[in-house]
Amino acid sequence: MRYAYEPEVEAFRKEVRQFIAENLPPEEVRLQRGYEGGFKTNQEEYDYTMGFQKKLSAKGWLAMAWPKEYGGGGASHMRQLVYNEEMAYHGAPAGNMGIAWVGPSLMLYGTDEQKSRFIPRITGADDWWCTLYSEPGAGSDLAALQTRATRDGDDYIINGQKIWTSGGHLADWGWIAARTDPDAPKHKGITMFMLDMKSPGVTVRPLINIADRHGFNEVFFEDVRVPAKQVVGEVNRGWYHMAVALDFERSGIQAYAGGRRTVERLVSLAKSHPELAERRPSVRYELADRSVEVNVGTFLAYRVATMQARGMVPNHEASASKLFGSEMGQRIATTGMHLLGTHGQLRDGTKHQVIDQATSYLSSVSATVAAGTSEIQRGIIATRGLGLPRG
């Protein structure tokens, strides 16, 4: 099968590649300094990420998918696909939670004051946002969250705890879901707030992950006052606002583009250091399998974007792409460890300086949990895709 883009889309791809070549540091510098993947674990990585996003903003690309009236690019699904694919392939730090979650909700449910205050700072890469959803007792079952917000005059007072907050230690603002009606059914009585992370009573504590990286945090709220004007949407309707999804490209192409680049690096390493493959000949078959899987996954992602471009709404198709991509990432990381052998256990660079394979291997463990567990994705595919009964 030959997949071809419209000439206009291919021209845009060339433009994106040229921009990346002119604005990203050389690959060897990014690998050496741990910039790839946009972990944002410390101030240096944060500055690097925001500096690049400022350039995207100036180009009009940071909010590529947003409507033009809100400062976005109004891009088609196929342009979004190409943009996401190229950014992920080159390891560019283009992801932004303000773009992904906050802005879309403000467009649909925000007041004029909220839109004028927050949207320009999101599209201008002036503020960094974190997502305050998960709690120790509310992960996949997010509607079980217990963080409380109680009305007190012109404010709400928030008490509770959030966990697994990516970048919370560097964030300017938090997008928080809190329970405003404890007596309502669990999918009701939840409200969305915009929270200044420097507010009195907010405590951010680091969670060091298995790869010895500080990306996650736990966040505690003790009598934190949030002005009522920072409620987004209807009070007690936050669950439905959380589920908002504007018509953005959601193919999951980033996993396959990044995976393709990693496989290419591993193949190049095997060619330049034949002794690695000679020690473990079966790794050649693994590399071949990973290459095939990247191609299969890429077409799963293309299918989702193509459906959206035709006005269709992908459901189980998007779950299939996410499931295959996250599990493929784990297999790629395992193959890298097999190729490098004991040297692969060295963190922050290997003997061959191709990639920090140890960190990649350990970080891949979370891929099948983050953004919807593999179990949840399989359930969606089974019930909505195959029509199987619920268990």
Catalytic residue numbers, as ranges: 249
Q: Cα dihedral angle (62, 170, 243, 389), rounded to 10 degrees?
A: 110
- 96/129 Cα distance (integer angstroms): 8
Contact 66, 75 (CB under 8 A): no
**Counts for the chain of helices (H) and strands (E), in that order:** 14, 8
DSSP line for 340-368: HGGGGG-SSS-TT-S--HHHHHHHGGGGG
In 3D space, the residue among 195, 328, 314, 320 whose CA is nearest the CA of residue 259 turns out to be: 328
Contact 193, 231 (CB under 8 A): yes
Contact 25, 52 (CB under 8 A): no
Distance of CA 49 to the CA centre of its chain: 14
Joined together, the tokens standing for residue 44 give: 């240096």
- Dihedrals φ, ψ of 36, to 5°? -65, 140
Q: How big is the chain, counted in residues?
A: 391
Which residues are paired to 253 by β-bridges?
none
- Between the two ends of the chain, the Cα-to-Cα distance in Å is 37
Secondary structure of residue 169 in the 3-state scheme: coil
DSSP line for 159-205: EEEE---TTTTT-SEEEEEEES-TTS-TTSSEEEEEEETTSTTEEEE
